[in-house]
C-alpha cells in the first residue's frame, strides 16, 4: 500500500486572491485545509525603524503607505498621537474635516473590500461597480490634497488647508465633446462640499445596487454563510476589532465608546452581526457604508455653516501663513518659524501615548514614545490586519481550499497594513 | 485625572499590592511596570479579575531603551529591553499599559502570554524578530517579518537603518545574490533634545 501523505500547497506570494504579497503554506488533506501557515513580511518596509530617523512631521506621509486602502485614517491616528504628546488643541473645523475624510476613507476601504471579495469568489461585476464609485471619491481626495492615493493631508494640529471652493473639471479632448463634458462636469460646478453632497445623495442607491447583486444571491450566500465562524468570546480572545468583532455580535466601536475628534456630536448607528461568519461581516460593512453616508451629511451641513481656522495657530507646530513668509507682508518671525519647522522640526515633550482610532479594518493604534527630541524615539503601529491575519490558521482549519479565498476577503487584509 | 482613571489606578494598587514597580498616570493613560518574575501572574489577574477584566490584548511590542534621552542618560543594566503591552477591557471600557523589562541585556527572555491571549502569538513573534526578545513558552517562535535567513534584530538601536546586507539580481549567476550594503547612512536633520521653553519669547 502506498504511503498517504498530506499535500502541501504554496498559495502565493503572487496570487490574485492574496490581496498583495502573501505566501500561504497550506497543508491539505484532499481538499480540506489541515493547517494554514501565512508567511508575511514580503512587503515589510520597516516603517517603524524609518520613523526613528526622521522628524515627527517627515514621517507623516509614511502613514499613507501603511494601509494604502484607507490612507487618511492612518494619518489621523498618527496626528492624534502627536497632538496628545504635545497637548495641543485642534480647531473644531479641522476636526469636522477629519471626520468627513475619515468616513470617506471608510467608504473607500469598504468599496474595495466588498468589490474584491466578491471578485475573488466569482462575482466579476461587483468590482467594476465599486471602483466606479471609488474613482469619484478619489477626486475628492485629489481636490483637497492634490494626490489621489497618498494625500498627506492631515497635519499635527489640524489639516493642511481648507476645503477648496471649486472642483477641477474635465477638459475637452478628441474623445469627449462638449455635451459629454457637460454631463461629466455637472456635479463639479460648485465647491467640494457640493460635489460630495451630490455624490452621497446618489450613493445609497449605489449601495442598494450592490445589495441586489450580492445580499440575496444564492452563490454568494453559499460561499459566505457559515464560513469562518467565530463566537464573540473567540473573537475577543483573538484580538479582533472593527467589523470583524462586530460581525460576531460585540457592539464595540471606538467612535462611540472612546470618541475622538467630534464623533460624540454626530448621530450614527453601529451595525452588529449575529453569527460571526463571512456573510454577517459583509452585511456589517454594507451597513457601515450607509452609516458613513449619514455622518458625512452631518459633517457637510456643519462645515457649510461654520467657517474658521483649520490648523492650530501654534507656530511651534504648524507653519505660519504664506503671507508671513513671502512677499511684501513677510516678517522675520514667520520666516524663522518656517525655517525651524522644516529643518529641525518641532520638539515633542518626553512621554508616551497610545492613540487609537476606529480604522475601517479595526483598531489602529499608534504607540509613540518621545524622549523630548525632534524625532520619535519609537513608533509602534498596531494595525488590525496583522492581528486578523494571525487568526487565519484557526479559521481555515477544516474548510475547503476554495474557502480560504473567501476568508482572505473577509479578513480585509492589506499588506501595507500587515507588514508595515 | 478623570474619575474612571482614578478608580482603575486604585483597583490596580489594591490588587497588585507590592508587585507594581511603578504606576504612572500621564496624559489620560495608566502605565504599570512589573518585574519579569511577576509578569505571568499579573497578566493572568489582569485578564480574570472581575474588577479588571482585560479580555483583549491589543498590542504587544518590544522597545529598546539603549539610546533613550539622546545620550544624556546612560542605559542601566537590565533596563534595556522592555516588552510593552496595551490591554483593553471591553466590559469596563478602559485601557492599561504594562511594561516589563527583561533582566539580561545580552539574552533578553520573558514568559509568553500566548496561553492567556491567543492573539499575541504573532506579536510576540514580531517582538522577537525585530527587537530580539525571547518569549519562553511560545509555541512557535519563528521570525515573521524579516527575510528567510535574516541575521540581527532591526529595531534595536545599534542596528543601522541601512542594514548590513542588500539584495540584487546577478545577471551572470542568473540568481539573486546577497552582498554587503553599498549605501552610506545619512542624517539630514540631526536628532536634538531642546531644553524646556526653547524658542519661546524671552528665552535666552
Answer yes or no: is pLDDT of B199 > 80.
Answer: no
Q: How confident is the model at residue B187 (pLDDT cuts 50, 70, 90)?
A: confident
- Cell reading at A298: 452631518
* Residue B61 contacts A, CB cutoff 8 Å: yes
Sorting pLDDT into bands at 50, 70 and 90, what band is A179? confident
pLDDT grade, residue A123 (50/70/90)? confident
Mean pLDDT for A280-293 is 92
Whether A89 has a pLDDT exceeding 70, the answer reads yes
B58 to A239: CB separation less than 8 angstroms, yes or no: yes
pLDDT digits (tens, 9 = 90+) for B4-35: 888 888 888 888 888 888 888 888 899 999 98
- pTM, two decimals, is 0.90
Q: What is the pLDDT of residue A357?
A: 92
Distance in angstroms (rounded) separating the CA atoms of residues A348 and A375: 8
Chain B residue with minimal CA distance to A241? Answer: B58
**Helices A92-121 and A278-305, axial angle in degrees (round to 10):** 150
Classify B85 as helix, strand or coil.
strand
Are the CB atoms for A363 and A80 separated by under 8 Å? no
Partner residues linked to A354 by β-bridges: A367
pLDDT at A183: 85
d(Cα B156, Cα A262) in Å, to the nearest integer? 38
Angle between helices A124-145 and A192-214 (to 10 degrees): 170
Q: Which residues of A touch B119 (CB under 8 A)?
A: 237-240, 387, 390-391
For B139, phi and psi rounded to 5 degrees?
Answer: -70, -25
Contact B6/A at CB under 8 A: no
Q: Which residue has the cell 471591553?
A: B90
Helix axes A92-121, A124-145, angle to 10 degrees: 160
Percent of chain A with pLDDT over 90: 39
* Total length of chain B: 204
Residues A351 and A376: beta-carbon distance below 8 Å: no
Q: List pLDDT tens digits, range A129-178.
A: 999 999 999 999 999 998 888 999 999 989 988 899 988 888 888 888 88
- Collapsing DSSP to helix, strand or coil, B84 comes out as strand
Neighbours of A90 (CB within 10 A): 24
How many C-beta atoms lie closer than 10 Å to residue A85's C-beta?
22
On whether any CB of chain A is under 8 Å from the CB of B19, the answer is no
Q: Check pLDDT > 80 for residue A197.
A: yes
- Residue B12 pLDDT: 87
Task: Say if residue B1's pLDDT is above 70.
Answer: no
Query: pLDDT tens-digit profile of B136-175?
Result: 999 988 899 998 888 889 999 989 888 899 999 999 999 9
List pLDDT tens digits, range A27-67. Answer: 888 888 988 899 988 889 989 999 999 999 999 999 999 88
Chain B residue numbers touching A48 (CB-CB < 8 A): 130, 155
Residue by residue, what is the 3-state secondary structure of chain A?
Answer: CCCCCCEEEEECCECHHHCCECEEEEEEECCEEEEEEEECCCCCCCHHHHHCCCCCCCCHHHHHHCCCCCHHHHHHHHHHHHHHHHCCCCCHHHHHHHHHHHHHHHHHHHHHHHHHHHHHHCCHHHHHHHHHHHHHHHHHHHHHHCCCCCCCCEECCEECCCCCCCCCCCCCECCECHHHHHHHHHHHCCCHHHHHHHHHHHHHHHHHHHHHHHCCCHHHHHHHCCCCCCCHHHHHHCCCCHHHHHHCCCCCCHHHHCCCCCHHHCCCCCCCCCCCCHHHHHHHHHHHHHHHHHHHHHHHHHHHHCCCCCECCCCCCCCCCHHHCCCCCCCHHHHHHHHHHHHCCCCCCCEEEEEEEEECCEEEEEEEEECCECCCCEEEEECHHHHHHHCHHHHHCCCEHHHHHHHHHHHCCCHHHHHC
Q: What is the mean pLDDT of residues A194-218?
A: 91
Query: Which residue is it, cell 469596563?
Result: B92
Is residue A316 predicted with pLDDT exceeding 90?
no
| Domains of chain B in sequence order | 3-141 (3.30.460.80)
pLDDT at B36 over 60: yes
* pLDDT at position A1: 60
Tell whether the model's pLDDT for residue A198 goes beyond 60. yes
CA distance B57 to chain A (A): 6
pLDDT classification of A387: cutoffs 50, 70, 90: very high
pLDDT of residue B202: 59
Residues 128-187 on B with a CB inside 8 Å of A are 130, 144-147, 154-155, 159, 161, 187
User: What is the pLDDT confidence band of residue B193, given thresholds at 50, 70 and 90?
Assistant: confident
pLDDT at residue B203, as a whole number: 56
In eight-state DSSP terms, residue B101 is E
Above 90 in pLDDT, residue A99? Answer: yes
Please report residues of B whose CB lies closer than 8 A to that of A257.
93
Contact A353 B93 (CB under 8 A): no
Taking the alpha carbons at both ends of chain A, their separation in whole angstroms is 49
ipTM for the predicted complex comes to 0.89
Per-residue pLDDT for A22 more than 90? Answer: no
Number of A/B CB contacts below 8 angstroms equals 127
pLDDT tens digits, residue range B59-92?
A: 999 999 988 887 777 888 888 899 999 999 988 8
Amino acid at each position: 500500500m502506498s504511503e498517504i501523505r498530506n499535500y502541501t500547497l504554496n498559495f502565493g506570494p503572487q496570487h490574485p486572491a492574496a490581496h498583495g504579497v502573501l505566501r500561504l503554506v497550506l497543508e491539505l488533506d484532499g481538499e480540506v485545509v489541515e493547517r494554514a501557515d501565512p508567511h508575511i513580511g514580503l512587503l515589510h518596509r520597516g516603517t517603524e525603524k524609518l520613523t526613528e530617523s526622521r522628524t515627527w512631521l517627515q514621517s507623516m506621509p509614511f502613514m499613507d503607505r501603511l494601509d494604502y486602502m484607507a490612507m487618511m485614517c492612518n494619518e489621523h491616528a498618527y496626528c492624534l498621537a502627536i497632538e496628545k504628546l504635545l497637548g495641543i488643541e485642534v480647531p473644531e473645523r479641522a476636526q469636522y474635516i477629519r471626520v468627513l475624510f475619515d468616513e470617506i476613507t471608510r467608504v473607500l476601504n469598504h468599496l474595495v473590500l466588498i468589490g474584491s471579495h466578491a471578485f475573488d469568489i466569482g462575482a466579476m461585476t461587483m468590482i467594476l461597480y465599486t471602483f466606479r464609485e471609488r474613482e469619484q471619491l478619489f477626486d475628492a481626495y485629489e481636490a483637497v490634497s492634490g494626490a489621489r492615493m497618498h494625500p498627506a493631508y492631515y497635519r499635527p494640529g489640524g489639516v493642511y488647508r481648507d476645503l477648496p471652493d471649486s472642483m477641477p473639471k474635465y477638459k475637452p479632448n478628441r474623445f469627449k465633446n462638449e455635451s459629454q463634458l457637460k454631463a461629466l462636469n455637472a456635479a463639479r460646478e460648485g465647491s467640494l462640499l457640493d460635489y460630495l453632497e451630490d455624490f452621497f445623495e446618489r450613493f445609497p442607491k449605489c449601495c442598494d445596487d450592490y445589495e441586489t447583486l450580492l445580499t440575496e444571491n444564492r452563490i454568494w450566500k453559499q460561499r459566505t454563510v457559515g464560513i469562518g465562524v467565530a463566537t464573540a468570546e473567540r473573537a475577543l480572545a483573538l484580538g479582533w476589532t472593527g467589523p470583524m468583532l462586530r460581525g460576531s455580535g460585540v457592539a464595540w466601536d471606538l467612535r462611540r465608546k472612546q470618541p475622538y475628534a467630534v464623533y460624540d456630536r454626530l448621530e450614527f448607528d453601529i451595525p452588529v452581526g449575529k453569527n460571526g461568519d463571512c456573510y454577517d461581516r459583509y452585511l456589517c460593512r454594507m451597513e457601515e457604508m450607509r452609516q458613513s453616508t449619514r455622518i458625512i451629511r452631518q459633517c457637510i451641513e456643519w462645515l457649510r455653516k461654520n467657517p474658521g481656522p483649520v490648523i492650530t495657530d501654534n507656530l511651534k507646530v504648524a507653519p505660519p501663513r504664506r503671507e508671513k513668509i513671502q512677499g511684501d507682508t513677510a516678517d522675520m518671525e514667520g520666516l524663522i518659524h518656517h525655517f525651524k519647522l522644516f529643518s529641525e522640526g518641532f520638539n515633542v515633550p518626553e512621554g508616551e501615548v497610545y492613540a487609537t482610532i476606529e480604522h475601517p479594518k479595526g483598531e489602529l493604534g499608534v504607540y509613540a514614545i518621545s524622549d523630548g527630541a525632534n524625532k520619535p524615539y519609537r513608533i509602534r503601529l498596531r494595525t488590525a490586519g496583522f492581528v486578523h491575519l494571525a487568526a487565519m490558521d484557526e479559521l481555515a482549519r477544516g474548510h475547503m481550499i476554495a474557502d480560504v479565498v473567501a476568508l482572505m476577503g473577509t479578513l480585509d487584509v492589506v499588506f501595507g497594513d500587515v507588514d508595515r | 485625572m478623570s474619575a474612571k482613571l482614578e478608580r482603575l489606578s486604585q483597583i490596580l494598587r489594591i490588587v497588585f499590592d507590592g508587585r507594581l514597580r511603578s504606576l504612572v498616570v500621564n496624559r489620560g493613560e495608566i502605565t504599570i511596570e512589573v518585574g519579569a518574575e511577576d509578569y505571568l501572574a499579573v497578566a493572568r489577574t489582569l485578564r480574570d479579575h472581575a474588577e479588571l477584566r482585560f479580555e483583549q490584548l491589543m498590542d504587544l511590542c518590544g522597545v529598546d531603551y539603549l539610546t533613550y534621552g539622546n545620550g544624556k542618560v546612560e542605559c542601566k543594566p537590565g533596563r534595556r529591553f522592555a516588552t510593552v503591552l496595551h490591554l483593553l477591557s471591553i466590559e469596563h471600557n478602559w485601557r492599561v499599559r504594562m511594561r516589563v523589562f527583561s533582566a539580561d541585556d545580552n539574552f533578553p527572555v520573558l514568559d509568553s502570554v500566548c496561553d492567556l491571549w491567543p492573539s499575541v502569538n504573532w506579536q510576540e513573534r514580531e517582538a522577537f524578530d525585530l527587537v530580539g526578545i525571547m518569549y519562553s513558552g511560545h509555541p512557535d517562535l519563528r521570525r515573521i517579518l524579516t527575510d528567510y535567513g535574516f541575521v540581527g534584530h532591526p529595531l534595536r538601536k545599534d542596528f543601522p537603518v541601512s542594514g548590513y546586507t542588500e539584495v540584487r539580481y546577478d545577471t551572470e549567476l542568473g540568481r539573486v545574490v546577497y552582498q554587503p550594503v553599498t549605501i552610506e547612512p545619512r542624517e539630514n536633520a540631526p536628532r536634538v533634545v531642546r531644553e524646556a521653553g526653547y524658542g519661546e519669547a524671552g528665552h535666552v
